[in-house]
Structure 1
Amino acid sequence: MVPALARALAGELLRRAGEERRLMRQARDRPTGPWREPLAACRAGNAEALAVIVRRHGWPTTDQVGAPASTAALMILLHAPDLGLQLGCRDLIARAAADGLCPALHHAYIADHCAVELGLPQFYGTRVDPVTLRPCPVRSPGTLDERRRDVGLGPLDEQLRRLRDDVRGFRGT
């Protein structure tokens, strides 16, 4: 990929992810405000743009667009309303991670996301039920922290403790 194209793609991914973050902050700050439709439209548009990028150039790996833009692409993908896109990109990300072109952590997040969406147990424990703040079902829980360590994640108990602390801080309790 030529450098100018890589910069343009990186800028577009970062801009789109930033817009979604802005809308998410609005939703958090004004839970009763009219944010659902703009957020859904943003996510749908982001997914369409990412699908075009992937069709034309493959998964935007860190060596192509840089770490921040590759992570932005992952965030767009995780929030996309299209499971087919997520499943197709999951396989591209798996290959890129195996080749050292993007972090293994990216594959862990999308693999778990797809598993949960398909009603299957997740492998790395990255998905948590937002109501109970407990992990969605996990495959082979006895070796979970070892798998998490292999992709750069800390122990699940630490992640859950931080999440609960964040939720308490957000709720002011």
Structure 2
Amino acid sequence: MTTSSSGNSAATDVLPVEQYVAGLARKRMAAGVLFRDPAERVLLVEPSYKPNWEIPGGAIEADEAPWATAQREVIEELGRHLAVGRLLVVDYVRPQDSRPEGVVFVFDGGVLAEDETASLVLRDGEILSASFHTLEQAGARVKPLLADRLSAALTAAREGVTALCEQGRRIA
């Protein structure tokens, strides 16, 4: 079968790059750090601005890498430069409340000794307290989504893998 050319170039059928990029979906992103003690309890921080506790972390800013966010948030919230290690969890979160869908990264902060946690400096009134909790205790302080994500992160740390999650539940 033979086709004829209408004289139009292929370029007229393609959206300009700017128009294509403007139409791409936007996702919110956040990064956190899982610190644990020798008993595998997880470090939670108590924010002053909301009722649920969290792991150290926060929203990824424009032009900021997830690992840079994790490091920045640890310094801001805990007042110390603590190493941020390998990626433990990538969690896809569906839209909820008034928030759009998102991707949350959890990095390994490693095991902190008691003297290291005693030297944390909670700054600027954003964080009221920080303490270690078992997964069961954490489940009573954090949102269910984070409780599931914490469980996946602890398992990933033990197994030496990165867990892929959806809504906090491990899928791979």
TM over 0.5: no
Kindly indicate which of the two structures has a greater share of residues assigned to strand: 2
Larger Rg: 2
What is the TM-score when the length of structure 2 is the normalising length?
A: 0.30
Whose RCO is larger (CA < 8 A, sep 6+)?
2
Kindly indicate which of the two structures has a greater share of residues assigned to helix: 1
What is the TM-score when the length of structure 1 is the normalising length?
A: 0.30
